[in-house]
Amino acid sequence: MSGAPTLSRSELRRYSRQLLLSEFAGGQERLKAARVLVIGAGGLGCPVLAYLAGAGVGFLRIADGDTVSLSNLHRQTLYTQADVGRSKAQLAAARLQQVNPYVAVEAAPALSAETAAALLGGVSLVIDASDNFGTRYLVHDLCTAAGLPWVWGAAGGLEGMVSVFGPEFGLRDVFPTSEGAESCDEIGVVGPLLGVVGSVMAMEALKLLTGQPDVLTGRLWTYDALSARVRVVRLPDRTSAAT
């Protein structure tokens, strides 16, 4: 791949297990060259960030303005009790650098209309690991306007879902309103559910970044933790639905 960054011997050893896979053998340089914005460093963001850093995604920007609270610790695995009250984005960035020193990580403020331009600047993929529809709809609007793809996930109670959006079809097309949506603060959540959903989000991101053909674009992956039932639902095409 012309102009792609080269891998050192140490990096080749580090990524040797995923390089054994034919689907990813030619994509490690693409991962190293990738620049990804992850919105949210909470229950979903923690596994997403850990796996993307471990896989060798070259630049990760973490947008989160929150601090660690005691009730986060059963599911937000990048943090410890000593971190309560400290910035999630800064802590996550420091932990990821310890996981993989070959990855550049930037702590950034939460996504808003004011911070959007700086946060989206220079990235080729956005991962929406936020926990509220206000932010999710803002991600939809910004990524659609910028022509960027994004990986979206949500989890609460005992259920989770993941999809890949943009730029022609996004969250607003699937969930035009947030009516009936409840937060984890209201309905609760079991910790491992976030690990499952976040891992699927990370996998979809790696597939996008390495050019794999079968991503969840136009489909919604759903998971019921209590029954262990997984379904993949094809989403209606916006243009065909209008005819």
Q: Is the pTM higher than 0.75? A: yes
Is 22-241 CATH 3.40.50.720? yes
Which residue is associated with the tokens 């050893």? 13
For 134, phi then psi, to 5°, come to: -60, -45
Q: Which of 55, 11, 100 is nearest to 209 (CA)?
A: 55
Cα 75 off chain centre by: 16
**pLDDT tens for the 243 residues of the chain, in order:** 446 688 999 999 999 999 999 888 889 999 999 999 999 999 999 999 999 999 999 999 999 999 999 999 999 999 999 999 999 999 999 999 999 999 999 999 999 999 999 999 999 999 999 999 999 999 999 999 999 999 999 999 999 999 999 888 999 999 998 765 665 666 789 999 999 999 999 999 999 999 999 999 999 999 999 999 999 999 987 544 443
Please report, for the chain, the start and end positions of each structural domain, with discontinuous segments joined by +: 22-241
